[in-house]
Amino acid sequence: DAFVVSAGCWSPELVRPLGLKLPIYPVKGYSITVPLSEPGRAPVSTIHDDNFKVVSTRLGNRLRATGFVELADFNRDIPGARIATIKKSVQSRFPGCANLDDAETWTGFRPMTPDGPAIIGRGPRDNLFLNTGHGTFGWTLSAGSAAVIAQVIDGEEPAVQLDAFRPGRFSE
**Pair 32, 101 in one domain:** yes
CA distance to 17, 75, 92, 98, 145, per residue, from 9 (Å)? 16, 13, 33, 33, 17
138 — pLDDT class (breaks 50, 70, 90): confident
At residue 1, does pLDDT exceed 80? yes
Backbone angles phi, psi at 106, to 5 degrees: -155, 150
Mean pLDDT over 98-114 rounds to: 97
Q: How many domains does the chain have?
A: 2
Q: Quick one: pLDDT at residue 25?
A: 96
Q: Quick one: pLDDT at residue 103?
A: 98
**Adjacency order of strands within the sheet including 47-49:** 47-49, 54-59, 62-71, 25-35, 104-112
At residue 172, does pLDDT exceed 70? no
Q: Where are the alpha helices (DSSP H) in 11-163?
A: 11-15, 80-93, 138-153
Mean pLDDT over 116-131 rounds to: 95
Percentage of residues in the chain having pLDDT higher than 90: 92
User: 17-41: per-residue pLDDT in tens?
Assistant: 999 999 999 999 999 999 999 999 9
**Pair 11, 63 in one domain:** no
Mean pLDDT over 79-93 rounds to: 98
The last residue of one of the domains, among 66, 96, 111, is 111
Backbone angles phi, psi at 107, to 5 degrees: -135, 150
**Pair 67, 97 in one domain:** yes
The rounded distance, in Å, linking the Cα atoms of 103 and 98 is 9
At residue 170, does pLDDT exceed 70? yes
Domain enclosing residue 161, as ranges: 3-24+113-170
Looking up residue 93, the CATH number of its domain turns out to be 3.30.9.10
Instruction: Tell me the residue type at 10.
Output: W
